[in-house]
Amino acid sequence: MNEVPTGRRARGVYLHVPFCRRRCSYCDFYFEVGHPTAGFVASVALEAQARHGELVWPAQTLSLGGGTPSQLGVEELARIVTRVRHFGLDDDAEVALEVNPEDVDEAFAHGLRAAGFTRASVGLQSLDDDVLLWLGRAHDRARGMAALRALVDAGLDVGVDLIVGVPDERPTRVDDDLARVVDAGVGHVSAYVLTIEPGTPLVQLIARGRRRRVDDDAQATAYERFQDRAPAHGLLQYEVSSWARPGRESRHNRLYWQRGAYLGLGPGAHSFYVDDDGRARRRHTTARLEAWRADPVRAAAEHEALDPAHSLREAVAFGLRDLQAGVDPAALARLHRTTVGPAVWRALEAARSRGDVSVDVDAASGPGFGPGFGGPAAGRWRLTARGARFADGVARDVLGAVDDAG
Ligand code: SF4
């Protein structure tokens, strides 16, 4: 087994750009309605300068999310890339951002490429006008298609986010969306089942009878239909909500599931590191724009340090989300300077017996897994296609698998 030293695991930078033109009814991300405030990029540069020592450079990925990063103009986006390159980005780094269709035209798309972006993830949600209207999005199908074409023509690796399981959507809506986006040259699709988050305007709209309630069975059917149909379009599921043509997976998102380190900049951003003593450490910068802007270097932040056993449970629970890579619990235990306790093995075994997880056993370790099953486990545990539908439950079981003595 090749172990990767902590400091040499994948490393990335995330920048949270917390501005949106308007509020989408279903959204519970952190953002402010309006244009980016003057001096935002200068504040990012100050924060990056002060905190760059948290990461071992160079980084392999840079990702701008939000909010709506595409609301920053090309010049400001280019300044951000230049700034991060100054600290160190691999020559073949993935440099990605989220864009909304209404911000994209040909000049913007070519400007992104010239600024060093390699990848764009479009907040498309659907190419069905009825679904877009239901969700309260600002773009329609024509605008969405034009944005995809412009980004693909500019030479960017283009992905889209879709929301499935929207009440009243046509049964064939998933098929139509898949066919159209793949036809346009999209190589990556994230498909999220619509969730009604507390405190969002959608809750009020449903309460007032202006939107229909979601139906759990219909949502499960929509997700399963997506799983069934995507492979025919060359899209393979590699994460609970992500499908890609081989080689076009998101390296930055994989870094989250595979215990990579990331420096999170901007208000509301999370950072994550594994220290040499095996503890996972997380930092969450205040999600208040004005407080952050007043002093981006010393803005309030919550810090969380997990003991090695907790760090390991989290590594297994999150890592399982990567359906292709899966997790090797024994290797993760070495990363976190601990051992895999019996309760974690029992949780994994229970998931395997339900058909939610499969395991490739290392031939050298014999037929059993874990204590009581014939010896120490080796091999990779992966969610199955069925397990992807129950991923949250499997993760909950693993996170809660605390040994009496631990
Ligand atoms: S869904 Fe995206 S564009 Fe809409 S409010 Fe949320 S972050 Fe902004």
Top mutation candidate among 27, 30, 72 for ligand 1, by most atoms within 8 Å of CB: 27
DSSP-assigned letters across all residues of 93-150: EEEEEEE-GGG--HHHHHHHHHHT--EEEEEEE-S-HHHHHHHT-S--HHHHHHHHHH
Distance CA 109, CA 154 (A): 6
Phi, psi of 236 (to 5 degrees): -105, 140
Residues 204, 249: contact at Cβ < 8 Å? no
How far is CA 380 from its chain centroid? 22
* 305 vs 303: CA distance, rounded Å: 7
CATH for the stretch 9-256: 3.20.20.70
Name 374's Cβ contacts closer than 8 Å, sequence gap at least 6. 366, 367, 368
Residues 89 and 83 sit within 8 Å (Cβ to Cβ): no
Query: Tokens at residue 182, please?
Result: 């793949």
Alpha-carbon distances, residue 234 vs 95, 106, 247, 281, 332 (angstroms): 24, 27, 12, 37, 31
| Angle, vertex CA 183, rays to CA 180 and CA 186, nearest 5 | 90
Going by alpha carbons, the residue nearest to atom 4 of ligand 1 is: 24
pLDDT tops 60 at residue 73:
yes
What would the pLDDT profile of 202-218 be if each residue is shown by its tens digit? 999 999 999 999 999 99
How is residue 396 written in tokens?
A: 């909950």
CB of 250 within 6 A of ligand 1: the answer is no
Question: Which two three-digit tokens encode residue 47?
Answer: 């924060």
- Strand-pairing partners, residue 24, are none
pLDDT at 296 exceeding the cut of 50:
yes
> What distance in Å separates the CA atoms of residue 75 and residue 215, rounded to the nearest whole number?
44
Which ligand 1 atom sits nearest the alpha carbon of residue 66?
7
**Each residue of 380-390: pLDDT tens digit?**
999 999 999 99
Q: Is 66 in the pocket of ligand 1 (CB under 6 A)?
A: yes
- pLDDT per position as a tens digit, 278-295: 999 999 999 999 999 999
Question: What tokens does 141 get?
Answer: 């199908």
User: Could you give the residue range(s) of every CATH 1.10.10 domain in the chain?
Assistant: 309-406
Evaluate if residue 22 carries a pLDDT over 80: yes
pTM over 0.75: yes
Flag whether pLDDT at 376 surpasses 60.
no
Amino acid symbol at 213 = R
In the predicted model, what is the mean pLDDT of residues 99-112?
97
> How far is it, in rounded angstroms, from Cα 108 to Cα 104?
6
Per residue in 206-251, pLDDT (tens digit) is 999 999 999 999 999 999 999 999 999 999 999 999 999 999 999 9
Give the pLDDT confidence score for residue 15 in this predicted structure. Answer: 98
* Cα distance between residue 384 and residue 51, in whole Å: 39
Q: Cα of 20 to ligand 1 centre, how many Å?
A: 6
Q: Is 323 in the pocket of ligand 1 (CB under 6 A)?
A: no
Which pLDDT band holds residue 378 (cuts at 50, 70, 90)? low
Give the pLDDT score at 372: 41
Q: Percent helix, strand and coil across the chain, each rounded to 5?
A: 40, 20, 35
Distance of CA 229 from the midpoint of ligand 1 (Å): 27
Q: What is the pLDDT of residue 272?
A: 97
For helices 106-115 and 141-153, the axis angle rounded to 10 degrees is: 40
Compute the average pLDDT of residues 170-193: 96
CATH number of 309-406: 1.10.10
23 within 8 A of 29, measured Cβ to Cβ: no
Cβ–ligand 1 distance for 213 under 6 Å, the answer no
Query: In the chain, what percentage of residues exceed pLDDT 70?
Result: 93
* H helix or E strand, kind and range, residue 294: helix 289-294
User: Does ligand 1 come within 6 angstroms of the Cβ of 100?
Assistant: yes
b/e burial code for range 372-385 (CB count within 10 A of at least 16 → b): eeeebbbbbbbbbe
Residue 20 Cβ inside 6 Å of ligand 1? The answer reads: yes
